[in-house]
Structure 1
Amino acid sequence: MADNAANLSGIARAELDTEYAGTRLGRQELSGELLEDVEVALWQGWMLEVEGFCVHREHIPDLNRIVVAVDPATKSHENADLTAFTVAGRGIPQATAYGDNRPRGYVLHAEQKRRTPTAAMRRAAELYHQYEADCVVIEANNGGEYLPALLEQVDPSVPWRIVHATRGKRARAAPVAHLYEQARINHVGPARGFAELEEQMTTFVGLGEAEESPDLLDSVVWALWDLFLEHQTHAGPGDDQRLSGRR
């Protein structure tokens, strides 16, 4: 687009910039960059660029379950990890291609920011109410088991579920990437709102201990596990456990 800007109206250029600037698709179509896939990455670029992948909120079905997933940092100093939040829901479109009536996932919101633990739980409660969610899912490795107690102090009306990572990041993320490969997941809203998430997806390999932790990706994985994959597992020593009575 940059090379042919003279052939577009100012309104059209502004709309395209607003929708796609800073995104993977925008880098290709607006700036003309040639983006090659990371060979062993779980997410390939085409999964995020298929027609209809990004949809507007008014075009999605009623959602029968919505969760807020939190991948928290347990420290808050200036070099600490970011705390990531994903809001995602599950629903069945009225019109499905080829008679596929399986539920689809809709990622409604994704953000990451450095926050104190209390501020993170306050933000989780805000998102829970904003999106009328059913539950907050909190990843609680590295000593984060105290976070639900903070959430209850911030807002005792918010139901929560705690999960623990018992497998490597790649093994945990692979089934979620498969949902994207099946075109069963959509991102809802302007594409630029998911630019950081999609960058993490298309560059995450997960084959080495030295690889930086992808916080947004982790929170999306937890959200979609809850919506689609948790029922496929059975409680046991190697599975995530729910705190007694909490859902």
Structure 2
Amino acid sequence: MMGQAGKAMDGAGKARPDRRQMDIFLEALAESSNVAASARVAGISATAMYRERRRNAGFAARWHEALCEGFVRLETELLSEALIAPTGIVKDATLKSRAQKYRLGLSLLAAHRAAVRGAKLPAGVAASLHEARQVMVEGESGLLAIAPDEVQPEYESSLRRVSWANGAIATLYSAAEPDSLRGPEHSAAWCDEVAKWPQGEAAWDNLMLTMRIGENPRVVATTTPRGVPLVRRLIRERGVATTAGRTQANSDNLSPRWLATMGSIYGGTRLGRQELDGEMLEDVEGALWSRALIERCRVEADAIGKPVRVVIGVDPPASANGDACGIVVAAHLRDDRLAVVEDASVERPPPALWAQAVAAAAARWGADRIVAESNMGGEMVTATLRQADVTLPVVAVHASVGKARRAEPVALAYERGQVVHAGAFAALEDQLCGLQVGGGYAGPGRSPDRADACVWALAALLDGVRKGRGPAVRRM
């Protein structure tokens, strides 16, 4: 039927686009990927266009083709503008400028969510659900703030869900709960501040298993470029494109006074290079270990021969639901060097499980002593190990000041070439490179469980060498 001024109307008296308006709309959509803007160009509301798409299969198919074309165009333009490095390669792992990174991530996600055929299920993952809501949804550059009025989404906090009128539904997740990502399916994802995710690699791996909807699932990760395992891994992976941005590039959206203050305090420092300039710094300032040092100390696992003495260092979790239990096996070799031979650490185990892991490691290597951090109580640690039939001597050591005092001579032994790693121990080495002079820690996770266990074991062996308990020939 026809309404006023010859406009096409449906049975309910609502405006319908004519063929000319649909053609204009689709042409604009292929240019911009913006439904609301394209509808304005065509002289009709976005709501009317969505109604037409629901009732007109041919128009819906053309819409999809135009949106796919527009998404490719938009993505290319956005990444080209964001690109600073001259290589022309763009990666989604490290955008530092706050508003810049959020707007890029959101623009890619918003354009992509409706372009995937039959799939409108994006995911939003942050370090916690609180941060997902405060930054990704309700923040100044969040979903609600940047969405045009015509396509303003609805946020349902109780369901962790953001919904759009076109049927797209984004679900929020916390990286602190990786198992919450088991089961769902997604077509796209925005991952914010992946460098601070408490269980980064576990959450990322579970998310990747959910990216199975649509023709071309994609993920954009925005983060400060800290040298944590997940960020380093993403930068190396095939199919990942990165870009970096300096805070100064976003100066139009930031307080001039704040910019001046940050520049005067942190300009030229390692922290400033990471936080303000978006540089990826591999080594922590003041770290006792560097990656280059550990690489110099690496040998093949089968090149160390039969050890003379083996000690196991243990850093038990403070509670049944605490962090990992660090379990590291170190050996005194016949050439008088010390070697890290195994990282047998267990993630978030109950007491019985970590005690069994210690017992199994002791049996594999013929250990003669266990050195365990006893902040949870020396007798309790010993009793837990005894319940797992560990009959070896257990030496309880205390952390705090003693930890720093013991770590520094162990690091010096590495510098002297007295310690080797018989193989690669990625998680342990990441933590070692986060231990700092004075006892600080700036590595992955909340606690350097593995690194502490390694220090206790090597410190015990060094003590034995100094006291003459190393390998020797006795006259009979």
1:166-187 C-alpha deviation (Å, 9 max, x unpaired): 6253322101100111111111
Question: How far 1:34 moved relative to its partner?
Answer: 6.4
Give % identity.
35
| Counterparts of 1:27 and 1:180, CA distance in 2 | 29
1:88 aligns with 2:330: yes
Corresponding position: 1:109 with 2:342 = yes
CA distance in 2, matches of 1:230, 1:73: 27
2:312 to 68, 72, 90: 68
| Greater RCO (CA < 8 Å, at least 6 residues apart) | 1
Distance 1:34 1:184, change over 3 A: farther
The answer to whether the 8 Å contact 1:24/1:199 transfers is no
**Cα distance change of structure 1 residues 87 and 179 upon mapping to structure 2, 3 Å threshold:** same
Which of 139, 147, 156 is the equivalent residue of 2:381? 147
- Matched with 1:12 is none
Question: Which of the numbers 391, 394, 402 marks the counterpart of 1:157?
Answer: 391
Aligned-pair CA distance for 1:62: 2.8
Contact in 1 for aligned 2:331/2:340 (Cα 8 Å):
yes
Query: Cα deviation per residue 1:162-212 (whole Å; 9 max; x = unaligned)?
Result: 2223625332210110011111111112x2xx1111111112225477864
CA distance in 2, matches of 1:203, 1:57: 24
**Residue 285 (structure 2) aligns with:** 39
- For 2:399 and 2:376, the matched residues in 1 are separated by 10
Corresponding position of 1:202: 433
The one-letter code matched in structure 2 to 1:45 is R
Instruction: Classify 1:125/1:39 alpha carbon distance in 2 versus 1 (closer, same or farther; 3 Å).
Output: same
For 2:315, give the aligned amino acid. D
Q: Specify the code of the residue in structure 1 equivalent to 2:284.
A: V
CA offset digits 1:32-67 (Å, max 9, x no partner): x965422311112221122xx322232113311101
Q: Secondary structure at the match of 2:420?
A: strand
Question: Hey, what does 1:188 align to over in structure 2?
Answer: 422
Runs of 4+ in 1 over 3 A off after TM superposition: 22-31, 33-36, 156-159, 206-212, 230-233
Q: Taking structure 1 as reference, are residues 41 and 153 closer, same or farther at Cα in structure 2, changes over 3 Å only?
A: same
Stretch deviating more after TM superposition (136-145 or 84-93)? 136-145
SS in 2 for 1:70: strand
Cα-Cα RMSD = 3.2
**Aligned in 2, Cα 1:174/1:24: closer, same or farther, shift over 3 Å?**
farther
For normalisation by structure 2, the TM-score amounts to: 0.37
Cα deviations across residues 112-140 of structure 1 (Å, max 9, x unaligned)? 41111222111111110011111222211
- The equivalent of 2:302 in structure 1 is 58
- Take 2:377 and 2:352, find their aligned partners in 1: how far apart are those partners? 15
User: What TM-score, normalized to structure 1?
Assistant: 0.68
Match in the other structure for 1:132? 366
Distance 2:454 2:417 in 1: 16
Instruction: Specify every segment of 5 or more residues in structure 1 that has no aligned partner in the other structure, as ranges.
Output: 4-21, 94-102, 234-247
Amino acid at match of 1:82: A
Aligned equivalents of 2:307, 2:440: Cα separation in 1: 37
Kept after mapping to 2: 8 A contact 1:138/1:161: yes
Superposition map of 1:210-221 within 5 A: 212-221=446-455
Structure 1 residues 210 and 133: CA distance shift in structure 2, 3 A: closer
| Secondary structure of the structure 2 residue equivalent to 1:75 | coil
**Range 124-133 or range 157-166, more displaced:** 157-166
Q: Which moved more, 1:133-142 or 1:81-90?
A: 133-142
Displacement of 1:23? 10
The structure that is helix-richer by fraction is 2
Letter in 2 for 1:40: G
- The DSSP-based 3-state class of the residue aligned with 1:203 is coil
SS class of match (2:452): helix
Distance 1:228 1:28 in 2: 38
CA 1:105/1:232 → structure 2, altered by over 3 Å: closer, same or farther?
closer
Distance in 1 (alpha carbons) for counterparts of 2:399 and 2:352: 22
Q: How many residues align?
A: 197
Instruction: Report the Cα distance in structure 1 between the residues aligned to 2:441 and 2:301, rounded to whole angstroms.
Output: 38
Q: Deviations over 1:3-23 (max 9, x none)?
A: 9xxxxxxxxxxxxxxxxxx79
Counterpart residue type for residue 338 of structure 2? G
